[in-house]
Chain A
C-alpha cells in the first residue's frame, strides 16, 4: 500500500535502479527527520534523559561487572584471561550497541500491528522500514555503546597483541560489520512480528541473548550451540571469529583461517535476506481494521 511503486512500471532497467536508489535515499532522509523529531521530544524531559542514559550505561556495565566478579574467583574462563574476554565483550557490546541505537525500536512493531497504528505508517509516502526503525528513537542507547567502547579500550590497553596492519583494520571493520549483522537480525525479527504480533521476546533471544553469548569465549559453549551461531544465525562473525584472529587463538569447530575476514560479506548477505523477509512480512500484513 504505502510502497509507492514508482520504479515498478518503469520499462527501462536503469530507471528501476534509479527509483530503488532514490527510495533508499528517501528512506534515510525520512529516518533522519523522524529521529530529529524524537531527539527534540526527548530533550523536553532532560532530567529523565540523563537518568535513562546513565541507567543504560550502568545496566550494560553490570554485564561486565558480573564477568569481573567471576574472574575474582578464577584466572581463566574457558581457557581465556580477563583481558581476552574483555576484547570479545567490548567488540560485541559496541557492535550490538550501534545496531540497538539505529534499529532498536523495531521491536515495537508488534504493538503497532496489534493496535492497528501501523496503518498510519502505511499511508505515508515514506518507506515503512525507515518509519518503524526511527519510531521513538532513543538516544539513551549511547550509554551501551560508551560502555562497550570503555571495555574495548581496557582490553586494548592490557592485551599484549602482536599487531599487524591487517589486525588494526580488522577492529573497526568487525565492529561495523557486527552492527550490520545485528541490525539484520533486528529487521528479520520485526518482520516475524507481522505474523506473531506479540512475540517480540523471540527477537530478544537472538539480539540480547546473542550479545550475551558473544561476551563469553566460544570454548565455554557446547559445540552445537557454537554451530548454531556460526551457520544458522551467523552471530559468530560479529566478534568471535575476527577477535580470535586478532588474539591469535584457535577458532572453534576447526574453521579455516580466512573465515575471520568474512564479516562484511556475511553482513551483506544477512541484509539481503532480512530485506526479503521484511518485504514478504509487509506484503502479508492485514490490518486489524480497528
Chain B
C-alpha cells in the first residue's frame, strides 16, 4: 500500500515539474471556456431551462468541463502513451518482473497525475470563469465534498478505459488508432461538447449509461445539486459499478496478454 502511495506522489510531482506547460494549459482551458460559454449563452438565450439547466448552471457546466478535461483525461494524455510505448518496445517485460502489480502501479501514478491536474489546471480557469460569468457555485461544503468524491470515481473509470486501450497494444503494436477512438468517445460521450441531457432520444439514453458519463456529466450534476440528498449515492453506485467492471476486464486482459503474447525483444 505504501508503495502505491509513493507511486501516486511521484505521479503528482512528475506533472508538477512542467510549470510553463501548466500555465500554457491554463491559458488554453480559459480561452476554450470563454468560447464555449458564449455559444452556451446564445443557446440558453433562445431556450432558457434547456436540458434542465438554467443559464448560470449551463455556464458552470462549461467551466467544470474545462476544469475536469485534464483531470479525467477526457482527451487522453495520461499514462497510456507511455505504457503503449513500453509494450511496443518490449520494456513492459521489465515492469512485469517488478514486485508490484502492473495495473495498480499505473493506477496509482494516474491518480497522482489527476490530483495535480485538478489543482494545477482546474482551479484557475474555474476562478476566471466565475469572475467573468455568473456561475452557480454550491453553497454547502458537503456538495463540494460530494463533488470531489464523484471526480475521484470519474478518474478511476477514465483510468479503466485507458488501461484497456493501452493493453490493446499487445495485439495491435501501433495503438494510435485505438487511442484516438477512445479519446473521441471520451470527448463526446462524457458530455464535454454538450451536456448529455441535450442529446435527443435514444442517443441521450445510451450516452447516459455509457462509462464516459462518469467523467463529466455525473460529477457536474453532483456539483450543480441535481441529485437531492441521498440520491448522490445512486450516482456514486453508477460510477463505482463501471469502475469495478472496467478494472476487472483490465485485469483479465492483462493476464491473457502476459500469458499468451510474446513480448517483443529488443
Contacts and interface: CB of A to CB of B under 8 A. Distances in A.
Contact of B177 (A51, A73, A221): A51
Contact of B25 (A52, A58, A201): A201
Contact of B27 (A50, A59, A205): A205
B50 A73 contact: yes
Contacts of B206: none
Given A62-B187, A225-B34, A216 B39 contact: yes
Interface string A36-79: 00000000010110111001101100110110011011111110
Interface stretch (B4-12, B192-200, B237-245): B192-200
Given A45-B174, A73-B198, A205 B193 contact: no
Interface string B162-195: 0000000000101011101101100110000110
A196 B34 CA distance: 24
Interface residues of A, number: 41
Q: Size class of B's contact patch?
A: 35 or more
A255 interface: no
Contact of B181 (A51, A66, A70, A205): A51
B28 interface: yes
A69 B177 contact: no
Given A199-B23, A201-B27, A202-B28, A59 B180 contact: yes
Given A48-B174, A77-B46, A199 B20 contact: yes
B181 A209 contact: no
Contacts of B39: 70, 77, 216, 220
Interface string A205-216: 100010011001
A221 B38 contact: yes
Given A52-B176, A200-B24, 19 more contacts: A51-B176, A51-B177, A56-B180, A58-B184, A62-B193, A66-B194, A69-B200, A70-B43, A70-B194, A73-B50, A77-B46, A201-B21, A201-B25, A202-B28, A216-B35, A220-B39, A222-B38, A225-B34, A225-B38
A213 B24 contact: no
B21 to A, nearest CB: 4
Contacts of A56: 180
